Structure 1
Amino acid sequence: MTDRIYARIAGTGSYLPAQVVTNDELAKRVETSDEWIRTRTGIRQRHVAAEGETTVDLAYQASLRALEAAGTTPEEIDLIILGTTTPDLIFPSSACLLQHRLGANGCPAFDVNAACSGFVYALTVADKFIRSGAAKTVLVVGAETLTRMLDWTDRSTCVLFGDGAGAVVLKADSETGILSTHLHADGGKKELLWNPVGVSAGFKPEEHNAGVRVLMTGNEVFKHAVKALDSVVEETLEANGLDRHEIDWLIPHQANLRIIEATAKRLDMPMERVIVTVDKHGNTSSGSVPLALDEAVRSGKVQRGQLLLLEAFGGGFTWGSALLRY
């Protein structure tokens, strides 16, 4: 009987642009205040990509750090999956551009667009490749330059988002790794959180009073996110026969502190066991979960052998979770 193969996180990495925009600085551009933003979102600042700095630039730096942490060279990579909703180009994919820059030419490389759930979706795909034996070493990245599609006069969205990237190197392992992943989507709610610009649909921005920017109905998104994340947490625990108190760390998508607190309450988990970076990074979409994971690992909070629950919710709607033994 063949031993079961797991996808183990061998190394993590992240990267944030140098430019930091505080709430007070935003208050000079739009009618808002530090107090208004913090009490509603938990965000204090966000990083913004410099002019000419692209999603692939951020992904490249995060990938180098993950590869170094894993003791892995680009030549060892069997597959690259990049979660993003802000690719450098329509095509080729940002994963292909990243592959070339890393010097990992020859292996398959592709993007996954599931908005803020992009990293969890990409991690799930990578896990399937490793479990099937089709790959042994996979680079999974979540990277965004979401501030490029913000309307900086719309305080309902411009205060929320930031730029950044996170990456993990997954390796085949017989001992430990990703235990299960769970993905969902509901395209019927698309207009509650979307960017209505596209190639094929022939969209005219002036008809929606919108350019290339994020449109969101915040209160509705909040309600759907809390409900969906509650459900996927329960699904994950049930699938693995676990009690919620067995989870060592919750590493959630960093969109809003109130959503994070609601999920922690559902798990009956104290906030001391929840990784929170939303105050420093804002919502970095698909970069959010791997950024938080890398910070937790490098700070020494997350230790080998601990049980981690990763979860995310994003436009689409999309949502998902990953349970893993680090």
Structure 2
Amino acid sequence: MAAPQIHIGSVATALPGPPIGNAELGAFFNASGMFEEWVDTFIGTRTRHLSVDLETGEARFTLADLAEEAGRAALKNAGVAPEDVDLVVMGTSMPDQLLPTTVNVVADRLGIEGVPSFQLQSGCTGAMQALDIAHQLMVAGRHRTVLVIGGDVCAKHVDVNLDFTKLAPDEMVNTVLFGDGAGAAVLTAEPVAGAPVLHRVLVRFVGRGRPPGQIVEWFGMGDRHENRSALHEDFKAIEEHVPVLGAEALEELLDGQGWQPDDVDYLMPPQLSVRMTDRIVRHLALPRAQEVSCVGDTGNTANALPFFQLELLLPRLVPGDRAVAVAIESSKWIKSGFVLEKVREHG
């Protein structure tokens, strides 16, 4: 018996509050002129959405809030009732709490019960890992209708009392690079007219012997008062390795599908920042693929990003179109991606 084709039945996303531009963020940090010029030159992000009220420091949205909104919309768009979902998988690097897991909070709110639920903690490839787990189990015939969620909320690491002008370079970048958001997709093994087929998902750990490119600390009761940075970035390592790993992931995805570079109509590249994405796209060198990017408007929303890209992509697809997504995680180096196609219908 042939393995079932896995379709992307719907995608939905959620953002917290209105977009915050560079001028507004710069004014908040008392660094308006220098700030805007620096962001435009080195980052390229125009706006981002934050779950934190910058005036008060109050968290207005949790990850569960955004994931519930995206998941509810994805189910509605797919015409799937909560009781029809037989698996929930979530990828995030910053859950609301260590326990209970955010995936179970979201499942509860959506009215999903009596099914397996998995939460994967990972950085920019967590959504890909969630899609991979779902895809493998569906191809094996274990599940038919799966809700896959990805998202991150950085509220735990936003300090509204920071003096931007006194920050180290890696800390400066983190104040503007990231945004908050969540996304969800309904995958189905049932034939769905017009829905693209998710052919393959790739996840490869490639960090053996490589120092981490990103470290995110988690403070508990014993060390919460220690004077150390919560976020550490090695941007030189990221700039060096991400384009190379992206090209490796792309080559493996194309080879596994039997596609050539000029077979690809759309590319969803890694979304670290506008400037970094531009470098990666040039390095991947797909001759005719149209780029699908959102990072300039959303900021780096980590595990929500593939869903924002899919939300932009799906309405554009016509029968025969092929697309490739690539995501790279620098925390301990993972390359990942997926291939999908809007298959021509016969008959």
1:268 is aligned, of 279, 285, 291, to 285
Task: Provide the secondary structure at the position in 2 that maps to 1:115.
Answer: coil
Between the aligned partners of 1:198 and 1:7, the Cα distance in structure 2 is 40
Summarize deviations over 1:169-224 as a string: whole Å, max 9, x none. 00014696222222122165454201133669x767737x22xx321122221211
2:178 aligned with 1:179: no
Between the aligned partners of 2:289 and 2:5, the Cα distance in structure 1 is 29
Between the aligned partners of 2:288 and 2:321, the Cα distance in structure 1 is 17
Alignment of 1:231-250 (within 5 A): 231-250=248-267
Query: Which segments of 5 or more consecutive residues in structure 1 lack a partner in the other structure?
Result: none
1:319 aligned residue: 335
Q: Which moved more, 1:309-318 or 1:230-239?
A: 309-318
Q: Which moved more, 1:301-310 or 1:78-87?
A: 301-310
How far 1:310 sits from its partner (Å)?
Answer: 1.3
Identity %, equivalent residues: 26
1:72 is aligned, of 76, 80, 94, to 80
2:92 aligned residue: 84
How far 1:323 sits from its partner (Å)?
Answer: 0.8
Work out the number of aligned pairs and report it.
319
Task: Provide the secondary structure at the position in 1 that maps to 2:326.
Answer: strand
How far 1:258 sits from its partner (Å)?
Answer: 3.2
- Mark the CA change 1:310 to 1:234 in structure 2 (over 3 Å): closer, same or farther: same
2:304 aligned residue: 287
Give the counterpart letter for 1:323 in structure 2: V
Give the counterpart letter for 2:89 in structure 1: I
Between the aligned partners of 2:336 and 2:183, the Cα distance in structure 1 is 17
Contact 1:277 1:292 in 2 (8 A): yes
Between the aligned partners of 1:280 and 1:69, the Cα distance in structure 2 is 24
Between the aligned partners of 1:137 and 1:129, the Cα distance in structure 2 is 11
TM-score (normalizing by structure 2) = 0.85
Give the counterpart letter for 2:101 in structure 1: S
Q: Which moved more, 1:47-56 or 1:173-182?
A: 173-182
2:56 aligned with 1:49: no
2:180 aligned residue: 163
Between the aligned partners of 1:25 and 1:114, the Cα distance in structure 2 is 30
The structure that has the greater radius of gyration is 2
How far 1:117 sits from its partner (Å)?
Answer: 0.7
2:21 aligned residue: 22
2:213 is aligned, of 169, 173, 192, to 192
Between the aligned partners of 2:320 and 2:123, the Cα distance in structure 1 is 30
TM-score (normalizing by structure 1) = 0.90
Query: Which segments of 5 or more consecutive residues in structure 2 lack a partner in the other structure?
Result: 53-58, 165-170, 343-347
- Mark the CA change 1:20 to 1:133 in structure 2 (over 3 Å): closer, same or farther: same
Between the aligned partners of 2:47 and 2:11, the Cα distance in structure 1 is 23
How far 1:141 sits from its partner (Å)?
Answer: 0.8
